[in-house]
Copies of this chain bind each other. A is one copy, B any other.
Amino acid sequence: MKPTTYYAVIFTSQRNEGDHGYSEMADRMDELARKQPGFIDAESVRDAAGSGITVSYWESLEAIRSWKQNEEHLVAQEKGRQAWYESYKVRICKVEREYSF
């Protein structure tokens, strides 16, 4: 069951050229995130020009904080800044309402 109040992490990024081990790590981080307490779901899209948006959904700000501090994730974040991203931005949001088709 999805809780009434939940949070979204919007991660917008621009990849640089070449893989440099990125794809493997991205798959691993997705796998690891899904095992975190409070994880609800994640959606990710990247186009051919390297622009990407990933949105992950969490039960609480505490769950987001724990994931940010996860040891393996910290290594990936450092690698991201060194080797994979030209730029990125993270926004932590409270979902106020939703509807779908």
Chain A stretch 83-101: residues in CB contact (< 8 A) with chain B: 85, 87-101
B96 touches A96 (CB 8 A): no
**A49 CA to B85 CA, complexed, in Å:** 23
Within 8 Å CB of A85, what residues of B?
101
Using CB atoms, name the residue of chain B closest to A97: B92
A88 CB contacts on chain B under 8 angstroms: 100-101
User: A67-84: which residues lie under 8 A (CB-CB) from chain B?
Assistant: 80-81
Which residues in B have their C-beta under 8 angstroms from that of A46?
Answer: 45, 47
Q: In the complex, what residues of B have CB within 8 A of residue A7's CB?
A: 96
> Quick one: given A46-B45, A93-B94, A95-B91, are A55 and B12 in contact (CB under 8 Å)?
yes
